[in-house]
């Protein structure tokens, strides 16, 4: 069985690790996988996480099973982060802990297949490469809607809406809640509102991937899109992740939240998701979720987390400004969009050959799609990276 197998293609993001490890230059810059690096180029454990881990080590009474739903405190804290404690959206939602954002999306995808067989999923072009992979793995037909204009750095909203007009009641629309991956171009309030109108007309389901909450403009600012949906739509689902905003990448902490027209409907939808989770991983890993639940439940640790999150967010936005300004010195193109976009990523339209040249000649590592992880830039490398990008002739 195994002897006949071909060499499989490398994952477009995870596969970069091998190339990075093989680059022996002391000046190499990792702008590939979406990990936040501080100004010294480190990806440290947050102080609030260290404190919660110490607390957990000292006080955890048992490692007995929880349930397919995971840690109840974490789940409630997730809903409160999304919609605000005591809000209508909080009351009308229920959360299942999942192994990372990927687990949450896989759970959502399986659930949609059961609840709406034959429905298509409309995904933005471009999107995170794991989106189509996950949805295809569960047998969904995909439709790509136009999303990003590489020339202007803006959302192609009119074309997007024209394509979404073809959605039917069995279809699902995938949206990025904030900090769009890979483009950094987000929907504004008027656009969220127009989408809510369209979805109400078509009857399509909505699934929001919110993997970067707090890394754009702030915790409540980044939740504005899903809060608007909660006001306007009877139901939708949200996949979240604590990989980035808690820097808990390898602990695999995510969640799937279902919003219903009523609390009863949300409880019912949650009950239908539980047996799906049972067949996927039975129960999610506890450690990371227990940390997040403790940090969010402890006033002092929570303040500490919000400070650490703000530091990450501010540094990313500073690097956006620095990259935009330095590139502007290299020609006529208006790079103001880099500063206006949000989150870890931007796309400058670098060709795969340009990406290869950046890696070989400048030791700057990106995905072959030309996605730049701005959170890998720092005061020591941003000018050099901008000059290298300009030298390979982006867009
Ligand atoms: C990324 O887009 O780089 C991250 O979300 C990491 C991943 O799993 O792909």
In degrees and rounded to multiples of 5, residue 53 shows phi and psi of -65, -40
Mean pLDDT confidence for 128-149:
97
Please give the pLDDT value at position 78.
98
As a whole number of angstroms, the distance between CA 8 and CA 45 comes to 33
CA nearest to 113, candidates 98, 144, 143, 134: 134
**272 CA from centroid of ligand 1 (Å):** 28
Ligand 1 pocket, residue 33 CB under 6 Å: yes
As a whole number of angstroms, the distance between CA 302 and CA 297 comes to 7
Ligand 1 pocket, residue 253 CB under 6 Å: no
| Judgement on whether residues 78 and 104 belong to the same structural domain of the protein | yes
Cis amide linkage into residue 126, ω under 30° from 0: yes
Please give the pLDDT value at position 161.
98
What percentage of the chain's residues is helix, strand, coil (to nearest 5)? 45, 15, 40
| Judgement on whether residues 210 and 135 belong to the same structural domain of the protein | yes
For residue 349, is it within any domain?
Answer: yes
Q: From 14, 16, 33, give the residue whose CB has the most ligand 1 atoms within 8 Å, as the site to mutate.
A: 33
Ligand 1 pocket, residue 240 CB under 6 Å: no
Measured at the CA of 352, the angle between CA 347 and CA 353, to 5 degrees, comes to 130
| Judgement on whether residues 132 and 95 belong to the same structural domain of the protein | yes
Q: Is the pLDDT of residue 146 over 90?
A: yes
| Judgement on whether residues 284 and 356 belong to the same structural domain of the protein | no
Task: Write down which residue in 249, 264, 297 finishes a domain.
Answer: 297
In degrees and rounded to multiples of 5, residue 209 shows phi and psi of -100, 115
| Judgement on whether residues 259 and 348 belong to the same structural domain of the protein | no
In this structure, the residue with its CA closest to atom 9 of ligand 1 is 13
Please give the pLDDT value at position 393.
77
**277 CA from centroid of ligand 1 (Å):** 22
Q: Is the pLDDT of residue 394 over 70?
A: no
Report helix, strand or coil for 120: strand
In this structure, the residue with its CA closest to atom 6 of ligand 1 is 34
As a whole number of angstroms, the distance between CA 318 and CA 251 comes to 28
Q: Is the pLDDT of residue 331 over 90?
A: no
| Judgement on whether residues 194 and 109 belong to the same structural domain of the protein | yes
Report helix, strand or coil for 11: coil
* pLDDT (tens digit per residue) in 47-90: 999 999 999 999 999 999 999 999 999 999 999 999 999 999 99
| Domains identified in the chain, total number | 2
- Output the domain CATH number for residue 363: 3.90.1150.10
- Catalytic residues, which ones? 128, 209, 244
**343 CA from centroid of ligand 1 (Å):** 13
Q: Is the pLDDT of residue 240 over 60?
A: yes
Mean pLDDT confidence for 1-27:
92
| Judgement on whether residues 348 and 253 belong to the same structural domain of the protein | no
* pLDDT (tens digit per residue) in 333-377: 889 999 999 999 999 899 999 999 999 999 999 999 999 999 999
Ligand 1 pocket, residue 354 CB under 6 Å: no
In this structure, the residue with its CA closest to atom 4 of ligand 1 is 34
CA nearest to 254, candidates 103, 134, 56: 103
For residue 206, is it within any domain?
Answer: yes
- Cβ proximity of 178 and 212 under 8 Å: yes
User: pTM above 0.90?
Assistant: yes
CA dihedral 275, 279, 281, 282 (to 10 degrees): 50
Please give the pLDDT value at position 333.
86
Please give the pLDDT value at position 2.
94
Ligand 1 pocket, residue 83 CB under 6 Å: no
For residue 281, is it within any domain?
Answer: yes
Please give the pLDDT value at position 389.
94
Please give the pLDDT value at position 239.
98
| Judgement on whether residues 254 and 364 belong to the same structural domain of the protein | no
Q: Give the DSSP letter of residue 46.
A: P
| Judgement on whether residues 241 and 118 belong to the same structural domain of the protein | yes
For residue 56, is it within any domain?
Answer: no
**141 CA from centroid of ligand 1 (Å):** 23
Tally of helices (H runs) and strands (E runs) in the chain: 16, 13
Across the chain, mean pLDDT equals 96
Task: Write down which residue in 297, 326, 345 finishes a domain.
Answer: 297
Give the least confident one: 204-213, 244-253, 313-322, 385-394. 385-394
| Judgement on whether residues 122 and 206 belong to the same structural domain of the protein | yes
Ligand 1 pocket, residue 127 CB under 6 Å: no
Q: Is the pLDDT of residue 165 over 70?
A: yes
Percent of the chain scored above 70 by pLDDT? Answer: 99
| Judgement on whether residues 97 and 139 belong to the same structural domain of the protein | yes
Task: Write down which residue in 235, 267, 297 finishes a domain.
Answer: 297
* pLDDT (tens digit per residue) in 200-211: 999 999 999 999
Contact residues for 364 (Cβ-Cβ < 8 A; gap 6+): 28, 29, 31, 358, 385, 388, 389
| Judgement on whether residues 181 and 129 belong to the same structural domain of the protein | yes
Please give the pLDDT value at position 187.
98
For residue 305, is it within any domain?
Answer: no
CA dihedral 32, 33, 36, 41 (to 10 degrees): -50
For residue 381, is it within any domain?
Answer: yes
- Output the domain CATH number for residue 94: 3.40.640.10
Ligand 1 pocket, residue 179 CB under 6 Å: no
Please give the pLDDT value at position 198.
98
- Residue-wise burial string across 139-161, b where 16 or more C-beta atoms lie within 10 A, e elsewhere: ebeebebbbbebeebebbbeebb
ipTM, two decimals: 0.96
As a whole number of angstroms, the distance between CA 72 and CA 387 comes to 49
For residue 1, is it within any domain?
Answer: no
As a whole number of angstroms, the distance between CA 169 and CA 235 comes to 13
**177 CA from centroid of ligand 1 (Å):** 16
Give the domain extent around 238: 65-297
For residue 251, is it within any domain?
Answer: yes
What pLDDT band is residue 395 in, cutting at 50, 70 and 90?
Answer: very low
Index of the ligand 1 atom closest to the CA of residue 128: 2
Ligand 1 pocket, residue 107 CB under 6 Å: no
**300 CA from centroid of ligand 1 (Å):** 30
């Amino acid at each position: 069985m195994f002897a006949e197998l071909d060499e499989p293609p490398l994952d477009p993001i995870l596969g970069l690790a091998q190339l990075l490890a093989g680059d022996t230059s002391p000046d190499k810059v990792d702008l590939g996988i979406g990990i936040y690096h501080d100004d010294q180029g480190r990806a440290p454990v947050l102080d609030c996480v260290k404190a919660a881990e110490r607390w957990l080590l000292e006080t955890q009474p048992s490692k007995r099973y929880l349930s397919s739903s995971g840690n109840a405190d974490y789940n409630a804290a997730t809903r409160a982060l999304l919609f605000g404690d005591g809000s209508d959206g909080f009351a009308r939602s229920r959360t299942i802990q999942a192994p990372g954002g990927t687990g949450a999306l896989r759970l959502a995808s399986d659930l949609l297949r059961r609840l709406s067989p034959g429905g298509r999923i409309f995904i933005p072009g471009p999107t995170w490469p794991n989106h189509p992979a996950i949805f295809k793995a569960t047998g969904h037909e995909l439709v790509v809607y136009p999303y990003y204009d590489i020339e202007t750095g803006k959302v192609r909203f009119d074309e997007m809406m024209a394509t979404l007009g073809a959605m039917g009641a069995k279809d699902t629309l995938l949206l990025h809640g904030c900090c769009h991956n890979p483009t950094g171009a987000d929907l504004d309030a008027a656009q969220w509102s127009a989408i809510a109108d369209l979805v109400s007309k078509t009857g399509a389901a909505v699934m929001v991937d919110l993997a970067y909450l707090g890394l754009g403009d702030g915790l409540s600012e980044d939740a504005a899109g899903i809060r608007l949906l909660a006001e306007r739509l009877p139901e939708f689902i949200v996949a979240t992740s604590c990989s980035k905003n808690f820097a808990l990448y390898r602990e695999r902490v995510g969640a799937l939240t279902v919003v219903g027209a009523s609390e009863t409907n949300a409880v019912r939808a949650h009950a239908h998701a539980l047996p799906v989770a049972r067949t996927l991983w039975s129960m999610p890993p506890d450690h990371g979720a227990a940390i997040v639940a403790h940090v969010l439940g402890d006033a002092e640790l929570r303040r500490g987390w919000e400070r650490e999150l703000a530091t990450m967010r501010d540094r990313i936005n500073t690097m956006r400004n620095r990259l935009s300004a330095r590139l502007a010195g290299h020609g006529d193109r208006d790079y103001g969009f880099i500063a206006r976009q949000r989150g870890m990523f931007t796309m400058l339209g670098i060709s795969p050959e340009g990406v290869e040249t950046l890696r070989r000649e400048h030791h700057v590592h990106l995905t072959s799609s030309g996605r730049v992880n701005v959170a890998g830039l720092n005061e020591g490398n941003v000018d050099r990276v901008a000059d290298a990008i300009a030298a390979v002739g982006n867009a």
